[in-house]
Amino acid sequence: MSKLRWIFITLIMFILYAPIIVMIVFSFNSATSTSVFDGFSFRWYQNLFQYGGDLLGALRNTLILAVLSSLISTVLGTVAAIGISKMRSTWVKSTVMSVTNIPLMNPEVVTGISMMLMFVFVGKMLNLANSVNFFTILIAHITFGLPYVILNILPRLRQTDKHLTEAAMDLGCTPIQAFFKAVLPSITPGILVGFIMAFTMSLDDFVISYFTNGTFQTLPLLIYSMTRKPMKPDVYALESIMFLLLLVLMILLNVIQSEDNKKKGARLKK
Amino acid sequence: MNKTKSGQVVLNAPYLLWSAIFIVVPLLFVVYYAFTTANGSFTFNNIINFFTNEQYMTVFWRSMLYAVWATVISLVIAYPFSYCMSKVNASSQRMLMLLVMLPMLMNLVVRTYSWQQILEKNGLVNTLLESIGLEPIQFLGNAGVIIFGMVYNYLPFMILPIYSSISKVDKSLLEASNDLGCNTFGTIQKVILPLSIPGVLSGITMVFVPCVSTFYISRQFSDGNIKMIGDVIEDKFYRSSVPDYNIGATISLVLMLIILISLAVVNKFSDDDDQTGGVVI
């Protein structure tokens, strides 16, 4: 029974990883093909760093965008989560939560289109030459990153003791000091997980960027424009490196969460 | 009192403003464009046009059908998979979770392109088939391969919520059911299945929504011959020589309504008070 279980799990995993395995294998191909393997070489990795200016430029753009947007959504989202957790009126709270969930539930195409329509409309009114540009794609990425941050912090705020802030203030803290000393440490894991989620979503986003980018080229968009012709394996080389990066990020995320769970377990035992 | 109130405003104002301007207002623009003509006067014609145009209707029903198939197939694979996953030891479970999530963080475009290389006429699978003396199969261009592409892409969205609800089932319930004479299948049917319904429902919405609105996968796997709603929206905004924002917005609005309705239906079946569930990527 247990053997059958592992066979099934392995089979599904194999299907999930098939295209990624193919990608990694062919990034080491010595020929230009992405379907016939000729021999092992580092040629495409060398090629990538020597001549892959477009790809690396797009990668740089993607990273700048991901770092900026996820940082801003983390700050904005953390403040928002604290604000939401303090709301008294239940209908205001549930309205705000429904709006927060919109970017998660709405199809990405619709989110992208809706933002583009607004940006183009405003651009026309202000007579701008480029109504979609770096700032619009940044706004779009911040917006879809926010729910991940907020929804990861809210449950932690619910778990933190309400009297913690009061206690800190009784002991002479100002409200702001009380926040930094008493509340922030207990929600930090949530903030980190939210930040990493927002970062990875931004890194990989194709659909929403596609409608809000203007001339700002990110890696997924550049690769999309390349797939109209047969692609060269240097794209595979770059994506294999990205895979490694994501793997490290995910392991990090996992460590943060399991450390946090251990702490929680310890607290419960006391 | 006054001080806490102003504190509240400071905390809430930035996000409320942000979400009003960048979430709510854009959606109003979709509605605005859907109900106006190119020169801005009010009209119902876009909506009527969409529902009476045979071409649009074909694409519409095709998207629904493919999305339903993809959702059903994902469920049939994900449920036993999640069950198996919940049965292995704790550290393997965590590792498997990570492995399930990782592929969906990879670039959609590259993964789809890579599948194309595997499935194409002279691709890896056909080379393999020929080497053992079988006839090559034409995969690309079929409805089946597009549905496969969607299942592949969104399967993790089905696995994660189902797995999390199965793994939350109290172990003592399983023992009790065993003691009361149920075999493994009886326990699955009478204990695990009913308790994992919320996970199943949220999996269904999380797969159906991106499937029905998918674009790119269908285009890539059928060389542009089989279109889905998402492809038509993209055409209207980007690919036609004369972009038609109004009909594009109309189709987006219809898509949004379909999703609202399907969410409402699913919510009706689940009385979830479990808001602590959080999000899965």
> pLDDT, tens digit, for every residue of A91-139?
888 889 889 988 888 889 999 999 999 999 999 888 887 888 899 999 9
Q: What is the mean pLDDT of residues A72-96?
A: 90
Beta bridge partners of A250: none
CA distance A242 to chain B (A): 8
- What is the residue range of B256's domain? 35-269
Quote the CA–CA distance of A65 and A72 in Å, as a whole number: 11
Q: How many of the other CB atoms lie within 10 Å of CB of A21? A: 12
Q: Are A27 and A100 in contact (CB under 8 A)?
A: no
B177 occurs within a structural domain = yes
Nearest to B206 by CA among B157, B147, B255: B157
Cα–Cα distance for residue pair A87/A83, rounded to 1 Å: 7
Would you kindly state where each structural domain of chain A is located, as residue ranges?
1-41, 53-269
Q: Containing H/E element for A158?
A: helix A134-159
Residue B26 lies in a domain: no
* pLDDT in the model for residue B31: 93
Residue of B14, B110, B213 with shortest CB distance to A107 = B213
pLDDT tens profile B42-82: 888 888 988 998 989 999 999 999 999 999 999 999 999 99
- Pick from A2, A16, A238 the residue to mutate for testing the B interface (most B CBs within 10 Å): A16
Integer angstrom CA distances of residue A87 from A95, A147, B24, B218: 11, 17, 20, 44
Residue A169 forms contact with B (CB below 8 Å): no
What is the pLDDT confidence band of residue B199, given thresholds at 50, 70 and 90?
Answer: confident
Residues of B in contact with A244 (CB under 8 A): none
Chain B (220-239) residues lying within 8 Å, Cβ to Cβ, of chain A? 220, 230, 233-234, 237
Whole-number Å distance between alpha carbons of A239 and A48: 11
Provide the number of structural domains found in chain B: 1
The mean pLDDT value of chain A amounts to 86
Structure token digits, residue B23? 């979430």
The segment with the largest mean pLDDT, out of A3-7, A251-255, B241-245, is A3-7
pLDDT band at A269 (very low <50, low <70, confident <90, very high): low
Q: Please check whether residue B62 lies inside any domain of the structure.
A: yes
Give me the torsion for CA of A170, A171, A173, A178, rounded to 10°. Answer: -80
ipTM value:
0.83
- The answer to whether the Cβ–Cβ distance between A146 and B33 falls below 8 Å is no
pLDDT tens digits, one per residue of B208-225: 988 998 888 888 888 888
Beta bridge partners of B42: B36
> How far apart are alpha carbons B161 and B266 in whole angstroms?
14
Q: How confident is the model at residue A213 (pLDDT cuts 50, 70, 90)?
A: confident
Between A84 and A32, the more confident residue is A84
pTM equals: 0.85
Which residues of A104-252 form beta strands (DSSP E)?
none
How many Å apart are CA A97 and CA A94, to the nearest integer?
A: 5
Taking residues A5-32, what's their average pLDDT? 90
Quick check: A37 and A233 in contact, CB under 8 A? no
- Is the pLDDT at B3 greater than 70? The verdict is no
pLDDT band at A267 (very low <50, low <70, confident <90, very high): low
Task: Determine the pLDDT at residue B65.
Answer: 94
Q: Which residues of B touch A246 (CB under 8 A)?
A: 102, 105-106
Six-digit token pair at B134?
């079988």
Which CATH number belongs to the domain containing residue B53 in this structure? Answer: 1.10.3720.10
Distances, alpha carbon A170 to alpha carbons A74, A160, A167, B109, in Å = 29, 18, 5, 56
Please provide the DSSP assignment of A202-231 as one string: HHH--HHHHHH-TT---HHHHHHHHTTSPP
Share of chain A above pLDDT 70, in %: 97
Interface test with B, best of A7, A9, A252 (most B CBs within 10 A): A9
- How far does Cα B189 stand from its chain's mean position? 26
The residue-averaged pLDDT of A14-28 equals 91
Sequence-distant (6+) residues with CB within 8 A of B86 are B93, B163, B166, B167
Q: Which of residues 29-68 of B touch A (CB under 8 A)?
A: 29-30, 33
CATH of span A53-269:
1.10.3720.10
CA atoms of A199 and A142, how far apart (whole Å): 10
Q: Are A16 and B155 in contact (CB under 8 A)?
A: yes
Asked if B245 reaches chain A (Cβ–Cβ under 8 Å), the answer is yes
**Quick check: A152 and B279 CB within 8 A?**
yes
Q: Could you say which of A19, A104, A235 has the minimum Cβ distance to residue B118?
A: A19
| pLDDT exceeds cutoff 90 at B265 | no
Chain B residues within 8 A of A148 when measuring between CB atoms: 279, 281
Are B81 and B97 in contact by the 8 Å Cβ rule? The answer is no
Q: What radius of gyration, in Å, describes the C-alpha atoms of chain A?
A: 23
Average pLDDT in the B173-179 region?
A: 79
Q: Is residue B279 part of a domain?
A: no
Does B1 have pLDDT greater than 70? no
Q: Which two tokens stand for residue A183?
A: 């509340």
Domain for residue B254, yes or no? yes
